[in-house]
Amino acid sequence: MVLQRRVLKRRDYERMGIPATLWSVDANKVPPGALMFLRRYAGRLEELLRRPAGAYFLGPKGVGKTGAAVLLLKYIKEHGFSCLFISVGELRQALRGRVQFDTDTSVWDRAKEVDALVLDELRAADAGEAVLGARDLEDLLEHRYQFRKATFITTRMTVSERLSTFAGLVSKTTGYLVDVPVDGQDQREALKNSLTESLVAESATPPSSSHRPAPVPPNKTRGHY
């Protein structure tokens, strides 16, 4: 089967749940190691989706884990598959509040049914939650695996932290989700530093003669009125 690729529109991004700040994410914002995984996945897209094959995007804050996951999700959507991006915290709130995705489907059911799901920001603290804790997450991923649905998870936890906190989840996803380390500079911190340096440089530059303020005339006394 030859997959047809189409250009995504605003409605596609909104329906996927991708934040507007990530709509324009591209390969330039993804570290080389993660980008290599994305290219390999894209080259065998239908086969890996139907297997299903997914991934944990691992790394510290700001290195591009979410960007990598979103870039892959966009590519999957461009080829006609259903997709959803949602943080673990947002999915918990939706499950607790029985939030609807549309008139016929809840957000929780949508997370169970889409061809490709990105769960953003899995934290160690999520394991102990009464709603969407470790057991619920295990059930969700097991359901998705049984119905051949691909799942991608971003997390700051190390491999050992994930194993000690989500032992059941790791056990059930072995061979289904591979680890994709995302290494590099904190992109958000780098952007903040760049902006700070730019502002400092601008404030230190004297105004040009063409932009100097006009001289202020001497104050007039009452006798001049």
Sequence spans of domains, the chain: 11-198
User: CA–CA separation, 87 vs 166, rounded Å?
Assistant: 17
User: CA–CA separation, 163 vs 143, rounded Å?
Assistant: 21
The pLDDT, as a whole number, for residue 4 is: 75
Tell me the per-residue pLDDT of 137-169, one tens digit each, with 9 for 90 and over.
999 999 999 999 999 999 999 999 999 999 999
Q: How far is CA 195 from the centre of its chain?
A: 23
User: CA–CA separation, 188 vs 82, rounded Å?
Assistant: 29
The pLDDT, as a whole number, for residue 164 is: 94
The CA angle 55-76-113, to the nearest 5 degrees, is 75
Tell me the per-residue pLDDT of 30-64, one tens digit each, with 9 for 90 and over.
999 999 999 999 999 999 999 999 999 999 999 99
User: CA–CA separation, 182 vs 57, rounded Å?
Assistant: 6
The pLDDT, as a whole number, for residue 204 is: 53
116 strand-pairing partners = 83, 150
User: CA–CA separation, 39 vs 109, rounded Å?
Assistant: 30
Specify the higher pLDDT residue, 225 or 97.
Answer: 97
> How is 122-161 classified by DSSP, letter by letter?
E-GGGGG-SSS-HHHHHHHHHHHHHTT-EEEEEES--HHH
Taking the whole predicted model, whether its pTM rises above 0.85 is answered as no
C-alpha distances out from residue 21 to 28, 69, 70, 154, 192, Å: 15, 14, 11, 17, 16
Fold entry, domain 11-198: Rossmann fold (3.40.50)
Q: Give the percent of the chain with pLDDT over 90.
A: 75
